[in-house]
Structure 1
Amino acid sequence: MRLRGTDDADVIVVGAGPAGSAAAHYAAAAGLDVLLLEKSSFPRDKICGDGLTPRAVAELVRMGVPVREEDGWIRNIGLRAVAGGRSYEFPWPELRSYPSYGLARSRMNLDQTLAEHARSTGAKLLERTSVTGAVVDERTGRVAGVTARPVDDRGRRAGDEVTYRAPVVIAADGVSARIATSLGLEKDHRRPMGVAVRTYFRSPRHDDPWMESQLELWDGAPGKSALLPGYGWIFALGDGTVNVGLGSVSSTAAATKIDYKALFARWMENVPEEWGFTPENQVGPVRGAALPMAFNRKPLYRSGLMLVGDAGGMVSPFNGEGIAYAMQAGRTAADAVAQARARTTDHARERALATYPEIMRRDLGGYYTLGRYFVRLIEHPQVMRICTTYGLPRPLVMKFVVKLLSDCYEPHGGDVVDRVIAGLSRMVPSA
């Protein structure tokens, strides 16, 4: 689809996280010349829970990424929810669309695995390449490439700025969304925003087959302890360590006054001693990150620029999960670019590229809207307390909640719970 002989690629992908690597893989598999730019060098860390739902596993399988245990993955069989002093275990549902197991793997290893997979498919990966801005065609106003410069391991300039050109740029540059922001695509402050902090511990729980969610988080303030909208997690990684973290969510992007690291420290002071969550067993610092949710930055496509993953606010308001949707977005964006390449006129190419936001809105818009309603509810402590006290013991209610929170339901057909969720997702306005 190169429109000029000076183009360096058919598509430039900025950022080699799950969204960018998925986009690069699918675009290369479709025969496009792909340039994948990553500001760090692998292996590199990212702040995440490291747990993958069955929906994310299905995306890995579509990419052809090996997911065997001998390839470094640990499987989990479902969700353990802890609230009100009781524990409830809910196996992942048996569905046609997704496998009945999840996976866990540190982002240090996951992102490198996906980037190398994209490279093996044919994408050209440039590490330590920091994108500094978009190149805009003065005549058409379209994004026609990016400027970038080489950097060292600390992110410092290590060479002269370079211009890379392509008719389409896929921005997978994370929550900062620097390319989109530089072009005036600001986040919608009315959409939910989450915050998460996490660290790692050496622990005897490292081979736990369940993903555990602590559904009650208390602020711990003396004399006025309050229930917060959010949850804690413990995800086993099978390598002697566990990922332990907590997240909270707000129905808007307004900054909260919660000291998350202090809250995490208070939580750790009260966990059972046998878990081993002690300073001596801690591996690395407690680090935090924002979680942009529910398509909080739009449009997802405009004038040669596509937003995928966190850059487009694709984290679920229900559970803080973003990897599955990032990979889905990368796949969908790459297909739109490949389809555009087959068109013979500028107008037809633009129509093909514009299918990307339409498909994402169709597939996830209603689900994200339900998630926005959900966040508004759990912002009220009394509602959260009622849900955990009276909802968890009821199998049918929890079957509904687990499917809704994990987005693991049959969109067409399935049992009565699947049909209810699918129906609600179609009835509400798309996000």
Structure 2
Amino acid sequence: MTQQPHSRETTGPTAEAAAGAVPLRRRPEEDADVIVVGAGPAGSAVATHLARAGLDVLMLEKSTFPREKVCGDGLTPRGVKELIDLGVDTREEAGWLHNRGLRVVGGGVRMELAWPELASYPPYGVVRPRQDFDDMLARHAQAAGARLNQATTVVSAITDDRTGRVVGVRAKVGRERTEVSYRAPLTIACDGVSARLALSVGLEKRDDRPMGVAVRRYYTSPRTTDDYLESHLELWDRSDPANPRLLPGYGWLFGMGDGTVNAGLGILSTSKAYGRTDYRALMRSWLDGTPEEWGFREDNAVGKVGGAALPMGFNRVPHYRDGLLLVGDAGGMVNPFNGEGIAYAMQSAKLAADCVVHALSRPTPASREHALSRYPVALRQQLGGYYRLGNIFSKLIGNPVIMRTATKYGLPIETLMRLVLKLLAGLYDPKDGDAFDRMISAAVRMSPSA
């Protein structure tokens, strides 16, 4: 059941609004306890957690499901853990293609690294097309009790005249682009890299944090079934044959199990080539260098090349201010080590939901604000040090000399690569792990939060 949106665009002053605090649950004129903008992995995850806690959640999604998203379609064990925490059935019988680890290719080396055995994460990754994955997660949120309005493009926040607090959103609905508004005590921005909602209240991205760009395409290929995700760590820009450049990024080949392979590449902004490279041409050049029998040629292409930006390392802050929480890509939560976004979108969703549930259960405005202030603190505690290391890493490999040296001398050492896998994928036990886990945990603890 969908409530009719209200058309008013400001709220009258009340004692609580004047104090800049969250009202106790919803007022009669409000549309939900919480508005969630965007029904991707971040939005559907936070909506599921909130609805299960008994809150009335309204999700607003600009597209209609099923819809396509540019992504590698592969989840590491870190992402699988978040799915399990949501109660999603991740068995192969439920439509998930499992993998055992990561195959690394580069520097003349081809090495298969199994996902580590950890107490904190399952020992397998999964692959599933985003077109199906996002639809499944949205339906999962609906099954938990969240309401979903599709074809609803949120264009800006509604703020209280006196306090500046976010009290709702303006949106355009359907093909007619009918202008409507929705209100709730709290709003959660899960609208991805565009971060339109955050921008509408002046939350700009930080230019001192890395960005990435990814492009991908599907190909019919005999490599459609693979026990490993495959990562190619040497991406050469040969647009100038006299001056080929090794770029900070990687290419991937993820078998989909349906007769196709997701082939793509990601590049970091720390390279001078960022923004000046024809990424589609780069991918074409890289795939043309693969064996012809693999099938990564134009005749076997399925659909068009898609591209997307990757906001990394907490590049938009604060993650909570004046009734608005930023979750997932909207808050720049892509891992700067490896470009993984889904796992961290769902992890931040869980943290946000926990803070919101506690806030809306408290009796006083000050206490509710105190609970909400815990969200950015929890993010920094769980990811801040790790992301600071990732930001440093992204700058280092932006140096071609360092990139070439690491590729030449690091890749052949299997023990080192197992450490690197744990670090880059964030797959380590913070407590009671092995020597590698203790090394990574110590480095993270010593790093100031991002």
Which residues of structure 1 form unaligned runs of 5+? 153-157
Return the TM-score normalized by structure 1. 0.97
Distance across 2 between alignment mates of 1:287 and 1:14: 23
Distance across 1 between alignment mates of 2:293 and 2:66: 31
- Aligned residue in 1 for 2:208: 190
- Aligned residue in 2 for 1:155: none
**Mapping of residues 16-27 of structure 1, within 5 Å:** 16-27=39-50
- On the 8 A contact 1:148/1:161 being kept in 2, the answer is yes
- Aligned residue in 2 for 1:248: 267
**Mapping of residues 1-20 of structure 1, within 5 Å:** 1-20=24-43
Question: Is residue 257 from structure 1 mapped to residue 267 from structure 2 by the alignment?
Answer: no
Aligned partner letter, 2:203: L
- On the 8 A contact 1:191/1:251 being kept in 2, the answer is no
Task: Describe the shift of the 1:393–1:252 C-alpha distance in structure 2 as closer, same or farther (beyond 3 A).
Answer: closer
Distance across 1 between alignment mates of 2:182 and 2:272: 34
Helix, strand or coil for the counterpart of 1:204? coil
Distance across 1 between alignment mates of 2:177 and 2:224: 43
Aligned partner letter, 1:77: R
Aligned partner letter, 2:326: L
Distance across 1 between alignment mates of 2:216 and 2:37: 26
Moved more, 308-317 or 68-77: 68-77
Return the TM-score normalized by structure 2. 0.93
1:201 to 190, 212, 219: 219
Question: Is residue 135 from structure 1 mapped to residue 158 from structure 2 by the alignment?
Answer: yes
Distance across 2 between alignment mates of 1:251 and 1:27: 37
- On the 8 A contact 1:340/1:353 being kept in 2, the answer is yes
- Aligned residue in 1 for 2:418: 399
Distance across 2 between alignment mates of 1:340 and 1:245: 42
- Aligned residue in 1 for 2:315: 296
- Aligned residue in 1 for 2:244: 225
Question: Is residue 213 from structure 1 mapped to residue 213 from structure 2 by the alignment?
Answer: no
Shift of 1:253: 11
2:109 to 69, 76, 86: 86
Helix, strand or coil for the counterpart of 1:235? strand
- Aligned residue in 2 for 1:354: 373
Helix, strand or coil for the counterpart of 1:319? coil
Helix, strand or coil for the counterpart of 2:192? coil
**Mapping of residues 23-422 of structure 1, within 5 Å:** 23-152=46-175, 158-220=176-238, 221-251=240-270, 256-422=275-441
- On the 8 A contact 2:267/2:274 being kept in 1, the answer is no
- Aligned residue in 1 for 2:21: none
Shift of 1:385: 1.8
Helix, strand or coil for the counterpart of 1:267? helix
Shift of 1:139: 2.4
Shift of 1:140: 2.3
Helix, strand or coil for the counterpart of 1:384? helix
- On the 8 A contact 2:109/2:411 being kept in 1, the answer is no
Shift of 1:252: 8.7
Helix, strand or coil for the counterpart of 1:291? strand
- On the 8 A contact 2:233/2:251 being kept in 1, the answer is yes
Shift of 1:148: 1.3
Shift of 1:133: 1.2
Shift of 1:223: 1.4
Distance across 2 between alignment mates of 1:408 and 1:269: 33
Shift of 1:204: 0.7
Helix, strand or coil for the counterpart of 1:162? strand
Aligned partner letter, 2:197: I
- On the 8 A contact 1:16/1:36 being kept in 2, the answer is yes
Coordinate RMSD, CA, aligned: 1.3
Aligned partner letter, 2:398: E
- On the 8 A contact 2:118/2:429 being kept in 1, the answer is yes
- On the 8 A contact 1:251/1:372 being kept in 2, the answer is no
Distance across 2 between alignment mates of 1:423 and 1:92: 21
Shift of 1:358: 0.6
Shift of 1:362: 0.5
Helix, strand or coil for the counterpart of 2:123? coil
Moved more, 65-74 or 253-262: 253-262
- On the 8 A contact 1:193/1:252 being kept in 2, the answer is no
Equivalenced residues, count = 426
- On the 8 A contact 1:13/1:34 being kept in 2, the answer is yes
Helix, strand or coil for the counterpart of 1:244? strand
Aligned partner letter, 1:95: L
Deviations 1:196-218 (A, max 9, x none): 10010111111111000000000
- Over 6 Å off, 4+ runs: none
Deviations 1:223-276 (A, max 9, x none): 111111111000111111111001110239996211101111111221101111
Distance across 1 between alignment mates of 2:109 and 2:413: 13
- On the 8 A contact 1:11/1:166 being kept in 2, the answer is yes
Shift of 1:51: 0.8
Distance across 1 between alignment mates of 2:195 and 2:330: 5
Distance across 1 between alignment mates of 2:413 and 2:44: 41
Distance across 2 between alignment mates of 1:425 and 1:250: 23
Shift of 1:394: 1.8
